[in-house]
């Protein structure tokens, strides 16, 4: 059971400590014709789009159709280094594939000065667990509200926007430029929301795939404006891994800090 526990741990890691990168890799993002299918890979690895570490568990992955209905992942398989699954695009429009988690995390010291943290590795807390597991008057108690979301989008036919409806929980993307309509040399605008409000100052990083064939990360860095909007011009066509990080102290009690991590795989096509 070691592997699943580790995977869950990655998802629950506090944002600042997230050394490993999670990602989806769709085989195509723009599709034509009747009866379209897309194969996806899902993995955890620092080398973007190279499977060399851990698979992302498929039972955590969800997909929604252009009309907002849950779509079943087909032919799921978990390998040593990656998971794969297929999506049958039975409707025209944009589909979203994602993994999302949010919740409380706590760190404290006991009377003997020993450090503790909650939840433990692999633990999926249920409502009420926090109150039971965390001593509310412990020394140096730090409670944070964290969220992590990993997404990608694929479109059959004309792009649609229903899947962009946000939940109001954690760090989320509200695209102003459609994520399946990105082209080299063009500007794109994305708004990021934290608990439904603009994530002003969120840190945006985009890394193109294919690192094995170059020496630099070639990452594009940007910062969200007051409205949480990031504006970038894609320098070249590639499959990009996008990571956005946000942190502030506007947390709901009992948390004192809140942080969000958002990851997306976006394909930028040549003109």
Binding region for another protein (CB under 8 A): 30-34, 36, 155, 157-159, 181, 183, 269-271
Q: Where do the DSSP E strands lie in the chain?
A: 22-26, 30-31, 36-44, 54-55, 62-64, 74-78, 83-89, 93-109, 115-118, 139-156, 171-175, 182-183, 187-194, 197-198, 203-208, 220-223, 229-233, 238-248, 257-269
**DSSP-assigned letters across all residues of 211-250:** GGG-SS---EEEE--TTSEEEEE--S-EEEEEEEEEEES-
220: which residues sit within 8 A by CB, 6+ positions away?
A: 204, 205, 206, 207, 232, 235
Q: How far is the CB of 83 from another protein (least distance, A)?
A: 25
- Taking the least distance from each CB to another protein, the nearer of 186 and 248 is 186
- Taking the least distance from each CB to another protein, the nearer of 15 and 154 is 154
Count of C-beta atoms within a 10 Å radius of residue 93: 18
Cα 59 from chain centre: 16
Q: How far is the CB of 218 from another protein (least distance, A)?
A: 23
- Taking the least distance from each CB to another protein, the nearer of 14 and 157 is 157
Q: How far is the CB of 155 from another protein (least distance, A)?
A: 8
Half-sphere CA count of 58, side-chain side, radius 13 A: 17
Q: How far is the CB of 160 from another protein (least distance, A)?
A: 11
Q: How far is the CB of 156 from another protein (least distance, A)?
A: 9
Could you give the 3-state DSSP secondary structure of residue 58? helix
- Taking the least distance from each CB to another protein, the nearer of 23 and 40 is 40
- Taking the least distance from each CB to another protein, the nearer of 215 and 271 is 271
Q: How far is the CB of 191 from another protein (least distance, A)?
A: 23
- Taking the least distance from each CB to another protein, the nearer of 87 and 99 is 87
- Whether residue 30 is preceded by a cis peptide bond, meaning omega within 30 degrees of 0, is no
Token pair recorded at residue 166: 């946000």
């Amino acid at each position: 059971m070691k592997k699943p526990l580790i995977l869950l741990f990655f998802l629950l890691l506090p944002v600042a400590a997230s050394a490993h990168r999670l990602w989806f890799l769709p085989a195509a993002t723009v599709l034509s014709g009747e009866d379209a299918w897309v194969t996806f890979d899902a993995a955890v690895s620092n080398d973007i789009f190279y499977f060399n570490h851990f698979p992302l568990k498929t039972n955590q992955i969800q997909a929604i159709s252009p009309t907002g209905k849950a779509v079943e992942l087909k032919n799921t398989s978990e390998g040593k280094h990656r998971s794969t699954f297929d999506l049958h695009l039975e409707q025209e429009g944009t589909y979203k594939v994602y993994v999302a988690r949010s919740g409380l995390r706590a760190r404290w010291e006991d009377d003997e000065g020993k450090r503790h943290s909650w939840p433990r590795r692999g633990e999926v807390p249920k409502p009420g667990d926090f109150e039971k597991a965390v001593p509310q008057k412990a020394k140096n108690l730090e409670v944070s509200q964290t969220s992590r979301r990993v997404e990608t989008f694929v479109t059959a036919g004309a792009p649609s926007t229903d899947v962009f409806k946000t939940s109001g929980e954690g760090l989320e993307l509200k695209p102003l430029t459609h994520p399946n309509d990105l082209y080299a040399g063009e500007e794109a605008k994305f708004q990021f929301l934290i608990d439904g409000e603009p994530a002003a100052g969120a840190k945006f990083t985009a890394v193109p795939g294919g690192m094995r064939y170059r020496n630099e990360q070639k990452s594009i860095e940007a910062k969200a404006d007051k409205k949480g909007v990031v504006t970038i011009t894609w320098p070249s066509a590639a499959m990009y891994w996008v990571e956005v990080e946000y942190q502030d102290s506007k947390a709901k009690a009992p948390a004192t800090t809140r942080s969000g991590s958002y990851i997306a795989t976006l394909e930028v096509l040549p003109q």
